[in-house]
C-alpha cells in the first residue's frame, strides 16, 4: 500500500483529477517526474496496440487503456497538453463515425475528457449532441449540465436534463439523482429569467462541417 | 477537554489515553467532513487545536450525532473493546460507498485505569496527531471529486463480547470494491495506537 | 461474523502486499461491526460541494466584476522562451534587481537578462550530477546574486565579474527560497530549517530558525528589515523578528503549502500570503498583532503575489485550471482583471525596478511581461524568442 507520506512533500505538484488518482501511478509519477524515457516502452506497447486495434475483438479497448494510463501517468499540465490532448483527438478522429461506439460509455468518456480542453466546452457538447454521441448515456447529460450550470445557463441545463430523461439515458437512476439535485439547487438560488448566454444546446448537424478542435492558449514549444 | 496527561511524570493512564484518542477522532471526523465537502463549508467554525487551524461543525444535529457516537466509543475504549473506527462516505441517492476512512485501534493489554507504566510527552503525541490531520487535508489532491450529494456513517468494530446498547445495531461493513488505498501516518499514546488509511475508488469512467 | 476488509482488493499493478495489509487492517477474529441506529443529519438537499468542484473543474470561466476600472493591458508586452524552467511549485526561480537585470534559473543554469538592453549572459551552471538551481535572489543593490541548489549549496555570485564569491553549506536538502536583509542572506530548505548567513564573515552561519516541519518554500524579509515571513509545506506561515529564533507568530489558517508571500510596499507590517491547492485563499495579515485582516477564495492554487507599488492593488498568479494572473483591488478584494495566456501554472512573479511591469514564469516554459501597474500607453504585442545563448541544451 502506498503511504501518503511519499506524496505529501510534493502535494502542490499533484494536478487534481476528477476521478481521483491511482496511488501507485502517482508515486511513480512523483518519483520519475514525467520523464517520457521511463515510460517509453509502455508507450510503444500501447502505440502498437492502438495501431492494430482492428485486429482485436474490441477495437476501442486498447485506446481506453492507453487514455487511462496517460491520464494517471502524466500529472503536470504541460504533459497533459502534449500527451493526453493529441491522444484524445486521435481516438475521437478514429471512432466518432463508428456507429457502434456512439453510446459506448467508454468512448463517451473520452469525449467528455476532451471537453476539459475547451475554453468553451458548450461548443463541443453541442457538436456531440448533433452527432448523437452519448445520446443514451447519463454521464453525457450530467457533464453537459454541470458545464451549463457553472455558466449560469440554468434553462439550458434544465433542457439537457429533460432530454436525457426523455431518452432514458443509462444509468437512468444516476441521471434522475443528478437532475433532482439540480432542481433542489435551482430552488434555492435567486436566479430567475432567461439565461444570460444563449446556447444551441443540441446543435444542428450541417453538411461539410469538420470536427471542431479544442483551442488552447498558444504554446512556444 | 481537560488536560489528558499528568503533567508531572507524563504517565498515561487508560482514561487519559481514551480522552486523547476520542478527541482525535472528533477532530479528524470534522476535518474529513469539511475537507471532503460533505456539509456546506459555512456550517463549520474555525478553532485552533494541536497547533493547527481546524474546522468544527456548528450544526446542532451533526454535533449531537457525533457526541452520541463518540461518548459510546469512549466507553468502549475504556473497556478495551474497540478494534477500529470507520468513516464511510456514500452517495445519498445512489447509496454507493465512495470512500472509507479506517482508523485501526490497538490497545496495550497491561494498562489499566488505576495503573500505568506508560509515559510519553504530550507534545510528542500532539505532533503525531498534527501530522495525521495535515495528511487528511493533503488527501484532497488525489482523492476523486465527490460528484453527488454524500452522507456519512460511522462504524465501530468492537470485540464480540462487547455489550451493545439498544441505540446501536450491527451493520454491514460497507466495503468498496476495487478500491485504491493510501496509508496515513499513525500515532500512539503508548496505551492506544491508531493507524489510519483511506480507501477510495479511482473512477476512470466518470 | 466475517470482518475481513475483503472488498478492498486493489487495482492491478498497485503492487501491494496482501499479507501486510491483512495484518494491519483486518479486524481481529470475531469483531462486531456496530453503528448508531439514528443517522447523521443529511446535508441540505441538492448540496454538492461547489467549492471543491472548482478545484477539479478544468473549464475556464471568468468571474471578473463587471465594473469599469482603469485600463489594464490584457496581453503581455513581451513573451520570452524559457526552456527547461523546472515545473515545481516549491522553487523560486525568477528575481529582478534594481539595475533592471532579471535572473532566471533554467534547469542547471542561471541566466541574466538585461531588461534595458536585451543582453543575455549565462551567469553560472551547476557542476555536480543531479544538481540544478532551486532558487535565486538579488541583494538589494543588485550587485550580488544568491543561488540555491538542489544539492543544498548556497552560492553568492558577484555579477559584475561573473564570479562566484562564496559557497555556503549546512542545509541537508535543497534550498528552495532565499531572501536578503542587507548583508544577511536567509535561506529556506527542504530540510525544514531556515538559516541566517552573514555573507561578510567566514563562519557565515549565524542562526538557525526551526519553525517548520516540512519544506520551507516561501521566504521574505519585510522592506524595513525588522520582520521575516516564512511559509512551508506544513501549511504554516511564521513571522519572525529580525533577531528572534522562535516565531513571533505562527499563523495556521492556510490549509495547504504557503509559498506566495509579499510585504506591502506602502503600509508597514502588512503581509499578503497565498495558499496551495487544498487552500486556494489569499490572506492579509497585520504582522504587528498577528491578526488576519482579510481572506478571499481565489479558486486555484496561489503561486505568486506582487503588490502594486503605486496603487492599492495586488497581483496574484495561479495554477490549475486557468493559469491566470489576477489583479485585485485592496482592501475590497474586488477582482479587476484576469490576465490569461500561460498554458501551465504561473509559478513565479517578479516586479521591475520601476514598479510598472511584472514578469511571470510558468510551467509552460515561457516568461511573460505584463505592464499592469502603470497607465499603459499603447499595447505592444511582441513575441521574442530568447536568442541562442538562452537555449542551454
Tens of pLDDT, residues A127-153: 999 989 999 999 999 999 988 988 888
ipTM of this complex: 0.85
Output the pLDDT for position C155.
97
Q: What is the DSSP letter of A84?
A: I
| pLDDT score of B1 more than 50 | no
Residue that has been written with the C-alpha cell 495554477 in this structure: C319
Contacts of C56 in chain B (CB under 8 A): 145
Say what the pTM is.
0.82
Residue that has been written with the C-alpha cell 557542476 in this structure: C127
Beta-sheet strand order (sheet of C249-251): C216-221, C227-232, C237-241, C249-251
Of A23, A68, A177, the CB nearest to B204: A68
Low-confidence spans in chain C with pLDDT less than 70: 1-29, 49-69, 375-393
Output the pLDDT for position C56.
63
| pLDDT score of B179 more than 80 | yes
Output the pLDDT for position B206.
43
* C372 half-sphere exposure, CB direction, 13 A CA radius: 31
> Is residue B102 within 8 Å of residue B154, measured between CB atoms?
no
Output the pLDDT for position B203.
77
Band the pLDDT of A190: cuts 50, 70, 90. Answer: low
Output the pLDDT for position C50.
61
Of B94, B142, B149, the CB nearest to A20: B142
Output the pLDDT for position A216.
54
Output the pLDDT for position A202.
81
Contacts of C276 in chain A (CB under 8 A): 11-12
Output the pLDDT for position A26.
86
CA distance B190 to chain C (A): 17
Residue that has been written with the C-alpha cell 438537499 in this structure: C45
> Rounded to whole angstroms, how far apart are CA atoms C334 and C327?
9
CA distance A55 to chain C (A): 24
| pLDDT score of B53 more than 80 | yes
Contacts of A1 in chain C (CB under 8 A): 10, 14, 16-17, 20-21
Contact C46 A184 (CB under 8 A): yes
Output the pLDDT for position A34.
58
Neighbours of chain C (3+ CB pairs under 8 A): A, B
pLDDT tens-digit profile of B129-168?
999 999 999 998 899 988 888 999 999 999 999 999 999 9
Band the pLDDT of A74: cuts 50, 70, 90. Answer: confident
Of A1, A13, A185, the CB nearest to C21: A1
Output the pLDDT for position C14.
41
Comparing CA positions, the residue from C129, C131, C140 lying closest to residue C110 is C131
Q: Cβ of A4 under 8 Å from any chain B Cβ? A: yes
> Rounded to whole angstroms, how far apart are CA atoms C366 and C385?
10
Of C8, C44, C250, the CB nearest to B199: C8
**B64 to chain C: closest CA residue:** C40
Question: DSSP string spanning A168-210?
Answer: TPBSHHHHHHHHHHHHHHHHHS---SS-SS---TT----TTPP
Contact C8 B36 (CB under 8 A): no
For residue C164, give the C-alpha cell. 562566484
For residue C336, give the C-alpha cell. 479587476
* Per-position b or e across B33-48, b if 16+ CB within 10 A of its CB: bbbbbbbeeeebeeee
Contact C364 A78 (CB under 8 A): yes
- The CA-CA-CA angle for residues C337, C322, A221, to 5°, reads 115
Q: For chain B, give the longest Cα–Cα distance.
A: 57
Contact C34 B157 (CB under 8 A): yes
Amino acid at each position: 500500500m502506498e503511504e501518503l507520506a511519499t506524496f505529501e512533500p510534493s502535494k502542490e505538484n499533484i494536478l487534481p483529477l476528477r476521478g481521483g488518482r491511482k496511488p501507485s501511478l502517482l508515486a511513480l509519477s512523483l518519483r520519475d517526474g514525467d520523464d517520457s524515457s521511463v515510460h517509453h516502452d509502455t508507450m510503444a506497447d500501447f502505440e502498437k496496440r492502438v495501431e492494430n486495434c482492428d485486429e482485436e475483438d474490441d477495437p476501442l479497448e486498447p485506446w481506453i487503456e492507453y487514455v487511462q494510463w496517460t491520464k494517471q501517468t502524466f500529472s503536470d499540465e504541460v504533459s497533459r497538453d502534449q500527451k493526453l490532448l493529441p491522444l484524445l483527438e486521435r481516438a475521437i478522429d478514429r471512432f466518432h463515425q463508428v456507429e457502434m461506439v456512439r453510446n459506448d460509455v467508454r468512448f463517451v468518456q473520452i469525449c467528455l475528457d476532451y471537453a476539459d480542453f475547451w475554453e468553451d466546452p458548450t461548443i463541443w457538447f453541442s457538436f456531440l449532441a448533433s452527432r448523437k454521441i452519448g445520446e443514451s448515456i447519463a454521464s453525457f447529460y450530467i457533464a453537459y449540465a454541470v458545464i451549463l450550470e457553472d455558466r449560469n445557463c440554468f434553462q439550458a441545463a434544465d433542457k439537457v436534463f429533460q432530454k436525457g430523461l426523455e431518452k432514458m439515458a443509462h444509468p437512468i437512476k444516476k441521471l434522475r439523482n443528478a437532475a433532482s439535485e439540480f432542481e433542489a439547487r435551482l430552488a434555492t438560488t435567486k436566479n430567475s429569467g432567461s439565461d444570460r448566454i444563449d446556447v444551441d444546446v443540441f446543435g444542428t448537424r450541417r453538411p461539410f462541417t469538420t470536427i471542431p478542435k479544442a483551442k488552447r492558449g498558444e504554446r512556444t514549444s | 477537554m481537560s488536560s489528558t496527561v499528568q503533567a508531572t511524570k507524563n504517565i498515561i493512564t487508560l482514561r487519559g489515553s481514551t480522552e486523547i484518542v476520542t478527541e482525535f477522532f472528533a477532530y479528524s471526523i470534522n476535518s474529513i467532513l469539511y475537507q471532503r465537502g460533505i456539509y456546506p463549508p459555512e456550517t463549520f467554525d474555525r478553532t485552533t487545536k494541536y497547533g493547527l487551524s481546524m474546522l468544527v461543525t456548528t450544526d446542532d444535529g451533526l454535533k449531537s450525532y457525533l457526541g452520541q457516537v463518540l461518548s459510546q466509543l469512549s466507553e468502549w475504549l475504556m473497556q478495551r473493546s474497540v478494534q477500529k473506527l470507520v468513516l464511510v462516505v456514500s452517495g445519498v441517492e445512489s447509496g454507493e460507498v465512495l470512500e472509507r476512512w479506517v482508523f485501526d485501534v490497538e490497545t496495550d493489554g497491561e494498562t489499566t485505569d488505576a495503573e500505568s507504566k506508560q509515559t510519553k510527552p504530550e507534545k510528542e503525541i500532539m505532533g503525531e496527531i498534527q501530522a495525521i490531520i495535515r495528511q487528511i487535508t493533503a488527501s484532497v489532491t488525489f482523492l476523486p471529486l465527490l460528484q453527488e450529494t454524500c452522507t456519512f456513517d460511522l462504524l465501530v468494530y468492537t470485540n464480540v463480547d462487547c455489550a451493545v446498547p439498544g441505540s446501536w445495531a450491527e451493520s454491514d461493513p460497507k466495503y468498496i470494491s476495487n478500491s485504491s488505498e493510501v496509508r496515513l501516518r499513525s500515532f500512539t499514546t503508548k496505551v492506544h495506537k491508531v493507524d489510519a488509511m483511506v480507501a477510495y475508488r479511482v473512477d476512470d469512467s466518470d | 461474523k466475517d470482518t475481513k476488509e475483503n472488498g478492498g482488493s486493489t487495482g492491478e499493478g498497485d503492487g501491494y502486499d496482501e499479507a501486510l495489509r491483512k495484518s494491519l487492517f483486518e479486524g481481529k477474529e470475531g469483531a462486531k461491526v456496530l453503528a448508531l441506529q439514528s443517522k447523521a443529519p443529511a446535508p441540505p438537499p441538492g448540496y454538492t460541494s461547489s467549492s471543491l468542484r472548482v478545484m477539479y473543474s478544468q473549464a475556464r470561466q471568468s468571474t471578473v466584476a463587471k465594473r469599469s476600472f482603469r485600463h489594464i493591458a490584457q496581453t503581455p508586452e513581451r513573451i520570452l522562451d524559457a526552456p527547461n524552467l523546472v515545473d515545481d511549485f516549491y522553487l523560486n526561480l525568477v528575481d529582478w534587481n534594481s539595475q533592471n537585470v532579471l535572473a532566471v534559473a533554467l534547469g542547471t543554469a542561471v541566466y541574466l537578462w538585461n531588461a534595458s538592453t536585451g543582453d543575455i549572459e549565462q551567469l553560472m551552471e551547476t557542476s555536480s550530477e543531479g544538481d540544478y538551481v532551486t532558487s535565486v535572489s538579488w541583494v538589494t543593490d543588485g550587485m550580488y546574486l544568491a543561488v540555491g541548489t538542489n544539492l543544498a549549496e548556497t552560492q553568492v555570485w558577484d555579477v559584475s565579474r561573473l564570479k562566484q564569491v562564496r559557497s555556503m553549506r549546512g542545509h541537508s536538502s535543497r534550498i528552495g527560497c532565499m531572501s536578503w536583509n542587507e548583508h544577511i542572506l536567509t535561506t529556506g530548505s527542504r530540510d525544514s530549517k531556515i538559516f541566517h548567513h552573514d555573507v561578510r564573515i567566514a563562519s557565515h552561519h549565524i542562526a538557525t530558525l526551526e519553525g517548520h516541519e516540512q519544506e520551507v518554500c516561501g521566504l521574505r524579509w519585510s522592506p524595513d528589515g525588522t520582520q521575516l515571513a516564512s511559509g512551508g509545506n506544513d501549511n504554516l506561515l511564521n513571522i519572525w523578528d529580525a533577531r528572534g529564533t522562535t516565531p513571533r507568530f505562527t499563523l495556521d489558517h492556510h490549509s495547504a503549502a504557503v509559498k506566495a508571500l509579499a510585504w506591502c510596499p506602502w503600509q508597514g507590517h502588512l503581509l499578503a500570503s497565498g495558499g496551495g491547492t487544498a487552500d486556494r485563499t489569499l490572506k492579509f495579515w497585520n504582522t504587528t498583532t498577528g491578526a488576519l485582516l482579510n481572506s478571499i477564495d481565489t479558486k486555484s492554487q496561489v503561486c505568486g503575489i506582487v503588490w502594486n507599488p503605486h496603487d492599492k492593488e495586488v497581483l496574484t498568479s495561479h495554477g490549475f485550471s486557468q493559469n491566470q494572473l489576477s489583479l485585485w483591488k485592496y482592501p475590497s478584494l474586488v477582482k479587476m482583471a484576469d490576465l490569461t495566456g500561460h498554458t501551465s501554472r504561473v509559478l513565479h512573479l517578479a516586479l521591475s525596478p520601476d514598479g510598472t511591469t511584472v514578469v511571470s514564469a510558468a510551467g509552460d516554459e515561457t516568461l511573460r511581461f505584463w505592464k499592469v501597474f502603470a497607465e499603459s500607453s499603447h499595447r505592444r504585442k511582441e513575441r521574442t524568442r530568447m536568442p541562442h545563448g538562452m537555449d542551454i541544451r
